[in-house]
Amino acid sequence: MENFVVSARKYRPDRFDTVVGQEHVVQTLKNAIKNRHLAHAFLFCGPRGVGKTTSARLLAKTINCTQLSADFEACNQCNSCTAFNANASFNIYELDAASNNSVDDIRGLVDQVRYAPQGAQYKIYIIDEVHMLSAQAFNAFLKTLEEPPPYAKFILATTEKHKILPTILSRCQVFDFHRIKIDDAVKQLKKICLSENIQAEEEALHIIGKKSDGAMRDALSIFDRIVSFSGNKVTYADVIANLNILDYDYYFRATNFLLSGNLPASLLLFDEILNNGFEAQHFLHGFSEHIRNLMVCKHPDTLKLLEVAPNVANKFAQQSQACSSSWLLNALNMLNQTDFNYKLSKNQRLHVELALMKLCNLGRAIQLSTQQPMVDEKKKIDLSTAPAAEPKIDTGLKPAESMPILPLVLVQPKIAMSEPVSEKSTLERLKEQVNKQKEIDALQQNLEENEEEVYIENKAFTLESFSIIWLSYINKLENSGKSRLAAFLKDSPLKLQGEEKIEVELKSQLESEMMEEERLELIPFFRKQLQNTLLDIIFTINKERIQHMAKLTKPDQLKKMVGKNPILGEFVQGLGLEIDY
């Protein structure tokens, strides 16, 4: 049986012009050979499988070639080239630093540097995975790397440039290798298919190039696996079946269902995906990329970012015409949040299904948010200036602005202190307090449902509307077990600074530190509820109150605390302690 040679070895580049996707490195090296400006040390950096070691070997073979071609490529016919191709060259040494990283290994290499090359111009040392050398080995190598003999050349290769000592980096000519582009990988795979007499669909090769994640060696390994499965005909269906990839068709169908608001079909499609053995998070990742590709198709300047086969690109272009930019942006945000919280969810299937339900209603929510307010601004009635014949009192209520997600927000009632408080006004005030509490409860329920919001522009807000949501946030803290935080927020005065800044006055440095930790949840919460991304909340400390507390003795401080919280007094008495009032 004939020995099989994998494509990564069989089609390894033997000339500079066959190196894939590294034109900037190849051109620089060929110019250096042409102009005889070869550095004594090179460092090739980049991801795995992009041609670092291959380029190092090509450079070593080319600079020792005695019959360079007109384009400064190795001839592959002279004694030096034939010896190199047969792995029998005495002037080129390769060291794998992953397994030979001790001081003794480097000292052995340094000892060989003293001997001149045999039948060649240069003696080349290739050290792969050089970042694996120990600190002592680097130090032992440093002097030789700095002042080598004129015939010695060092070519270092690494995938982790940041692990190499700066003293080594400063003595090398550094080349950064790029990830292989999908188009370049597809071109190389087409050449191999032509050479091996293999028929391959272009979509299949695009999937292989995409799955390789920029590594040509991985693309060739995947290609060999697919050929072993399907024979001399590589199809798109065989590739997605072997690489555990969802078909593009699933995402196109899911997008059409969501755009039309067809929730049953969306849920059934998701169930079909799960029954085919795919993970729910796998669907989330692929669908997020699908929405991103649709967003890319919305503008001609970003079409180059779409890395798919031409016939699939046409499908993306057609479907993108049916999607608005606001729908795509909000859908991508929802999918990102769903993916972010996926691991935290106890019922992960329901977690994804809930996201699909929201996406089905996303178009309707956007439509409602862009509608004009029901009440004309010019026809709004100021209750404080109503005619005397009307049996209405001054409640200070302001017309609500258009808020698509949040419920109607009422402001604090304003009653002049100079007016006599009648039985009727007292009753009205009680009703207003009841309505206000209902409003807070409704808002709190809306928050617990964790509905996604869609808004187009920043909405203006008042201190009164902020105060309503402030109370609901305090209730939220109490329900989540943060009663201590909620307690001192109830007594913290609020001030409106400008149009988008709220100042919260605190009593102590401890409270300020606690609120700084809470800001991560507090700021997004209020920006979301008030539909204003410019809102900012700052916390200040009242130094006068701190100084006043500092002057009180500990018994006086305890008395003051008991006065504010009678339960503390009962607790002290329960312990049998006495407080002198």
Q: Which pLDDT score is estimated for 553?
A: 65
Segment 368-425, tens digit of pLDDT: 766 544 444 444 434 344 444 444 434 343 333 333 333 333 333 343 333 444 444 5
**Per-residue pLDDT averaged across 480-492, rounded?**
78
Residue 32: pLDDT over 70: yes
Query: Residue 101 — very low, low, confident or very high, per pLDDT cuts 50/70/90?
Result: confident
Q: Which pLDDT score is estimated for 45?
A: 92
Q: Which pLDDT score is estimated for 579?
A: 56
**Per-residue pLDDT averaged across 170-186, rounded?**
90
- CATH 1.10.8.60 in the chain: give the residue spans: 182-242
Query: Residue 442 — very low, low, confident or very high, per pLDDT cuts 50/70/90?
Result: low
* Both structure tokens of 414: 């304003």
Segment 516-556, tens digit of pLDDT: 777 777 888 888 888 888 888 888 887 665 544 445 666 76
HSE (CB half, 13 Å, CA atoms) of 397? 17
Percentage of the chain modeled with pLDDT above 90: 12
Tell me how far apart the alpha carbons of residues 65 and 522 are, in angstroms, rounded to a whole number.
68
Query: Residue 356 — very low, low, confident or very high, per pLDDT cuts 50/70/90?
Result: very high
| CATH 1.20.272.10 corresponds to the domain 248-369 | yes
Segment 70-99, tens digit of pLDDT: 888 888 888 888 888 888 888 888 888 888
Segment 321-355, tens digit of pLDDT: 888 888 999 999 999 999 998 888 889 899 999 99
Burial of 204 (0-12, 13-18, 19+ CB in 10 A): buried
Closest-CA residue to 572 (of 483, 559, 564): 559
Closest-CA residue to 323 (of 281, 366, 370, 270): 366
Mean pLDDT over the full length of the chain? 79
Q: 200 near 193, Cβ under 8 Å?
A: yes
Residue 10: pLDDT over 50: yes
- CATH 1.20.272.10 in the chain: give the residue spans: 248-369
Closest-CA residue to 295 (of 245, 257, 342, 255): 255
Comparing 148-152, 187-191, 381-385, 421-425, the range with the smallest average pLDDT is: 381-385
Of residues 367 and 473, more confidently modeled = 473
Query: Residue 211 — very low, low, confident or very high, per pLDDT cuts 50/70/90?
Result: confident
- CATH 3.40.50.300 in the chain: give the residue spans: 7-176
Give a three-class secondary structure readout of 158-187: ECCHHHCCHHHHCCCEEEECCCCCHHHHHH
Residue 24: pLDDT over 60: yes
Tell me how far apart the alpha carbons of residues 534 and 458 are, in angstroms, rounded to a whole number.
7
**Dihedral of CA 497/490/466/480: which sign?**
positive
Of residues 516 and 11, more confidently modeled = 11
Segment 103-126, tens digit of pLDDT: 888 888 888 888 888 878 888 999
Question: Domain 182-242, what fold?
Answer: Helicase, Ruva Protein; domain 3 (1.10.8)
Q: Which pLDDT score is estimated for 427?
A: 59
Q: Which pLDDT score is estimated for 354?
A: 92
Question: Domain 7-176, what fold?
Answer: Rossmann fold (3.40.50)
Query: Residue 247 — very low, low, confident or very high, per pLDDT cuts 50/70/90?
Result: confident
